[in-house]
Structure 1
Amino acid sequence: MGKPYINNAVIGNGSMLGCVSETGELIRLYWPEIDFPQHIEKLLTGFFDRNVPNSTVWFSEGDYEYSQAYIEGTNILKTVARIKSLSLEVVQTDFCVPCDDVLVRRYSIKNIGRNGIHLGVGVASRVTSHTLDMGCTLFDFGLDALVHYRHDNYWAIVSDAGVKEFQIGNDPFRAVWEGRLDGTDSIGMSPDGALLWDLGYVEPGCERNITLYMIFSRNMNSLKELTRKIKSVGYTSLFNTTKEYWTDYLSKCRVLKTGNGTVDRIYLRSLLLFRLMTDRNTGAILASPEIDENFTRCGRYAYCWVRDGAFITSALNEAGLCSLSEKFYEWSVRVQDKEGFWHQRYHINGNVAPSWGLQIDETGSILFGMWNHFLHVKNVSFLEKVWPAVLKACEFLENFIDGDTGLPLPSFDIWEERMGEHTYSTAAVIAGFRAAANIAETLGVSKKTIDQWRSIADNIKKALERNLVDNAKGIFLRSIRTKLNPWGSEPCADTVIITVNPKGYTREVSAFDGKMDISLLGAAVPFGIYEPRHPVMRNTAEKVEKLLYCEKAGGIYRYQEDGYAGGNPWVVATLWLAMYHIRAGNIEKAREYFHWSVECATPLGFLPEQAGKNDGKPCWVIPLTWSHAMFVLVLKELAEKGGIGDMQRG
């Protein structure tokens, strides 16, 4: 059972994260962290007429009329399906309870036909499992619940209606389809099971309701305790509590109102998404809900990149969510490598995630982010907490300098594709040293340390100007000493041999890489190493815009000849250029790119990673937290410069 690549909607509570398809299928469900483990292989709800054999239809897999929307100002999702074959209109309401490990799924089923129906409802569920950790299932008669369990993960599917029939294993999906379950065995070493309810005879125009609770715990006894509690509380109270939680959450945010309905909806959806993407237990920020578990098209997305975090926490702070930012930086301090750097990416629990090399801009970016966070909160105690990590990071960076070039040693670029000495990475390290010096000065650390770090930053900047500027063209180079072909010989004759690790291994690399890349703007935005109007910066930005603009669909590509996921313009890249134009005083140009990003949003208000190069429609990763962060940052700066300009009102 493969997983679709697109998550149309997300629900959660910071410890639980559910991904929902456009037809309402719960395709992924993570707990107790928002990246791991994922529990659902397949979960389907069927409806049938008990008087008609084999009449079952699956809610999320039919040729129905669907509509889907969040209840305004919440992460409560409603999916509506009109099932013509049974003359039913079914409203599915999904949400996660804020302070309990519970996902609630409510069905309101209305007979819209001319004849009555003896309504049956069935749920079939299969958990993900593998041979070393077998998914098992049982039916608990005391709870009237189907329970999946493995190792230290237990979860129950229970309802507010009495179960009529159940089944463990033996193809429960087919059994629900046939409308009859065999509950002879109540426990088995099987990853799947099913439940069936009889909701009685429903007259035309009448309605029945049934609520399912998916309840998670670490062991069987605590699961039973929580299940009894949830059943006693009931749907109405849980719904009202959840709605009030999100209302209260938004009331503490900085809300921007532009007068454009679409923009305002995306902004509010961004605020609501930020809470779902921030793990309430650890503080780590998820790049995106997973879309490719089996690494078939990418290196996966359900990780925390501290590089993304530097951008995202800036947006959180602008939105008034400084407490989430602070929790992220506290997490960052805990996961820092003992040698002083930060790894390429992490699992939400802080362990190192699958990676393919050191990415030095991560370390520079997080120092930069820490200082920017302080500028928002003005709380010296925050700097005192992060100071040991700052000191270790600078000690590492001091030794991570190429003796030949004066630049940071080769590492992977921002896009994690090329090993080399990059302009963006260099700018991040310069900004990191400057931020560290500012932190040290604020804390009253010795002047020697402050001067040393500022001197190192100045020397790296001089090295950048010596090595990473094409003086003939007056633009920045993307990289030098860079491995353009990771699997073989370099594609050009101008190569050098460099040492790549302490054991003396060497590698042939290209002497330079002159392709235009949106990350070149990093030298000005966000790192501020150069003013936007600096001649080299301005020339580079002009060339970036000229060569990376997508003529057919609009928007900006990441870099020349980018082929990832089909090679499309990115929302992040486009908003990055918009931010540059704001800082350079080109407000109308910035507005154009901002308007394009708004048009890329999904009907639910989510921003993707990319938009199709032919039609501009959202594609690939949905939603991407970094895209939403850039949207918030650009919107905030445009608001300060006179607003977003004329758009079609949403």
Structure 2
Amino acid sequence: MSTVENASNADLAEHSRAIIRILQTPEGAYPASPEFSAYRGYCWFRDGAFIADAMSACGDIDSAEAFFGWCASTTMLHGDKIREAVAAARSDAPLSDSDMLPARFHFDGSRGESDWTDFQLDGYGTWLWALGEHVARHATDSQPYREAIELTVAYLASSWERPCYDWWEESLDELHISTLGCIGAGLDAASRMGVLDLAHAELAASTAAAIRDFVLTEGVIDGHLVKWVGSAAVDGSLTSLIAPLGFIAADHPVARATVDAVEADLAVAYGVHRFVVDTFYGGGQWPLLSCFAGLARAALGEPERAADYLAWAMSTATETLDLPEQVDHHLLAPDRKQEWVDRWGEVATPLLWSHAMVLRLAKELER
């Protein structure tokens, strides 16, 4: 493992904050990774929302609000498409997947031109959730985002029951529990921000409640959350529903069972895989997923276990303190790594989402 033995945790934290600030665009977008060929020039709502939450938690209010402004302006830019999707869903003639909003956008808010598995709903929930956390944390004004929040609530309420790609741009035909948790957390947050009219607030709250009921009935097998409805497998992203999203309360029995199942099936020496049949770059371990597991363990009242996850994630830093998307210490499919290197180059490094999650877990453990 390539680590910086002489660098302190504070050095890595400061580098993480600095690289996020430096690379944030004038529009407010967070690039996923500045040089990685498949990600260059794009911002994902989901990745960016978790990055903004970390920056907000660390007191970088201006950075977080610049991102929320970008989300709002991008949402407004595609407002006509959102209204079309909502109307089509209500008339029981939903738009095709290709006509729905994408997961990633150029920094100017325009859609990407390349062929990409793009229809995802998780990011539209996570930006509402991160905004809600920021407003509660810093007592800021959500009024400037009102119209974009309303559009997003209507879009999610009309579409949450349809399958879409998961966090990893895979498995289009499934209802993914992590995606539903992101949507529900965002709608919960929107309903509490005090900026919506009564109709939109009630729509957000009632839809979030319906999603939670659905997740806890259709998305649980053997007492734990599952990757998608009908599967018995887990996914590394599921721990995010316990923390930081808080969609499943830490004192709910499903919470501990889910973290235990993810740890049993996907964690090796505190490095967490995405899922058991992952072949992307050989199916390595993701620092950001270790941080989600750490946040969940902290929420369960186990800070020592959380600190072990943080230590592992920080240990993956390169000599220049950059954090990668994944590492190859324990590959699930080692024979599949080279095909991805040949296609896109070496693993995305730095990945801003990885830096953000290290910041967020470190900040949580300070508490």
Same fold (TM over 0.5): yes
Contact 2:153–2:200, Cα closer than 8 Å, also in 1 = no
Distance 1:342 1:366, change over 3 A: farther
Distance 1:598 1:334 in 2: 34
2:301 to 580, 585, 600: 585
Q: List aligned pairs for 1:75-94, cutoff 5 A.
A: none
1:415 CA displacement: 0.9
| Aligned partner letter, 1:378 | A
Find the counterpart in structure 1 of residue 35 from structure 2: 290
Q: List aligned pairs for 1:352-431, cutoff 5 A.
A: 352-353=111-112, 354=114, 355-380=116-141, 383-401=142-160, 408-419=161-172, 420-431=174-185
Find the counterpart in structure 2 of residue 603 from structure 1: 319
Q: Which has the larger radius of gyration?
A: 1
Find the counterpart in structure 1 of residue 95 from structure 2: none
Report the 3-state secondary structure (helix = DSSP H, G, I; strand = E; otherwise coil) of the residue aligned with 1:620. coil
1:628 to 351, 355, 358: 355
1:547 aligns with 2:265: yes
1:307 aligns with 2:46: yes
1:566 aligns with 2:305: no
Distance 1:624 1:434 in 2: 29
1:458 aligns with 2:203: no
| Superimposed CA distance per residue, residues 61-91 of structure 1 (whole angstroms, 9 cap, x where no aligned partner) | xxxxxxxx9xxxxxxxxxxxxxxxxxxxxxx
Q: List aligned pairs for 1:198-597, cutoff 5 A.
A: 261-280=7-26, 282-292=27-37, 299-336=38-75, 337-338=78-79, 339-340=81-82, 342-353=101-112, 354=114, 355-380=116-141, 383-401=142-160, 408-419=161-172, 420-439=174-193, 442-443=194-195, 445-470=196-221, 473-480=222-229, 512-550=230-268, 555-597=271-313
Report the 3-state secondary structure (helix = DSSP H, G, I; strand = E; otherwise coil) of the residue aligned with 1:575. helix
Distance 1:606 1:446 in 2: 44
Distance 1:262 1:594 in 2: 13
| Aligned partner letter, 1:457 | A
Report the 3-state secondary structure (helix = DSSP H, G, I; strand = E; otherwise coil) of the residue aligned with 2:102. coil
TM-score by length of 1: 0.48
| Aligned partner letter, 1:624 | L
Distance 1:290 1:307 in 2: 19
State the identity %: 27
Distance 1:605 1:537, change over 3 A: same
Distance 1:262 1:342 in 2: 42
Report the 3-state secondary structure (helix = DSSP H, G, I; strand = E; otherwise coil) of the residue aligned with 2:20. helix
Distance 1:608 1:427 in 2: 25
Contact 2:187–2:204, Cα closer than 8 Å, also in 1 = yes
Report the 3-state secondary structure (helix = DSSP H, G, I; strand = E; otherwise coil) of the residue aligned with 2:185. helix
| Aligned partner letter, 1:422 | H
Distance 1:376 1:529 in 2: 17
Structure with the higher strand share, 1 or 2:
1
1:364 CA displacement: 0.9
Distance 1:522 1:595 in 2: 18
Distance 1:460 1:389 in 2: 21
1:541 CA displacement: 1.1
Query: Greater relative contact order (Cα 8 A, min sep 6): structure 1 or 2?
Result: 2
1:446 CA displacement: 4.1
| Aligned partner letter, 2:276 | Q
| Superimposed CA distance per residue, residues 400-459 of structure 1 (whole angstroms, 9 cap, x where no aligned partner) | 14xxxxxx21111011111121111111111121111112xx23x543442332122112
Distance 1:301 1:583, change over 3 A: farther
TM-score by length of 2: 0.84
Distance 1:271 1:399 in 2: 37
Distance 1:386 1:449, change over 3 A: same
| Superimposed CA distance per residue, residues 16-51 of structure 1 (whole angstroms, 9 cap, x where no aligned partner) | xxxxxxxxxxxxxxxxxxxxxxxxxxxxxxxxxxxx
Distance 1:467 1:434 in 2: 20
Contact 2:226–2:235, Cα closer than 8 Å, also in 1 = no
Runs of 4+ with deviation above 3 angstroms: 299-302, 339-342, 445-449
Distance 1:323 1:583, change over 3 A: same
Contact 2:104–2:118, Cα closer than 8 Å, also in 1 = no
| Superimposed CA distance per residue, residues 380-412 of structure 1 (whole angstroms, 9 cap, x where no aligned partner) | 2xx1111001111112222214xxxxxx21111
Give 5+ residue unaligned stretches, structure 2: 83-99, 332-345
Contact 1:278–1:285, Cα closer than 8 Å, also in 2 = yes
| Aligned partner letter, 1:271 | R
Distance 1:285 1:446, change over 3 A: closer
Contact 1:310–1:369, Cα closer than 8 Å, also in 2 = yes
Distance 1:300 1:286 in 2: 8
Q: How many residues align?
A: 327
1:376 CA displacement: 3.1
Contact 1:532–1:584, Cα closer than 8 Å, also in 2 = yes
Distance 1:428 1:614 in 2: 28
Distance 1:320 1:464 in 2: 33
Distance 1:539 1:604, change over 3 A: same
Superposition CA RMSD, Å: 2.1
Contact 1:371–1:436, Cα closer than 8 Å, also in 2 = yes
| Superimposed CA distance per residue, residues 542-599 of structure 1 (whole angstroms, 9 cap, x where no aligned partner) | 1110111236xx5111111211111111101111111111111111111111111222
Report the 3-state secondary structure (helix = DSSP H, G, I; strand = E; otherwise coil) of the residue aligned with 1:528. coil
Report the 3-state secondary structure (helix = DSSP H, G, I; strand = E; otherwise coil) of the residue aligned with 1:513. coil
Distance 1:614 1:368 in 2: 33
Find the counterpart in structure 1 of residue 339 from structure 2: none
Distance 1:447 1:350, change over 3 A: closer
1:477 CA displacement: 1.9
1:631 CA displacement: 0.6
Contact 1:521–1:577, Cα closer than 8 Å, also in 2 = yes
Distance 1:449 1:610 in 2: 39
Report the 3-state secondary structure (helix = DSSP H, G, I; strand = E; otherwise coil) of the residue aligned with 2:175. strand
Distance 2:167 2:330 in 1: 26
| Aligned partner letter, 1:264 | A
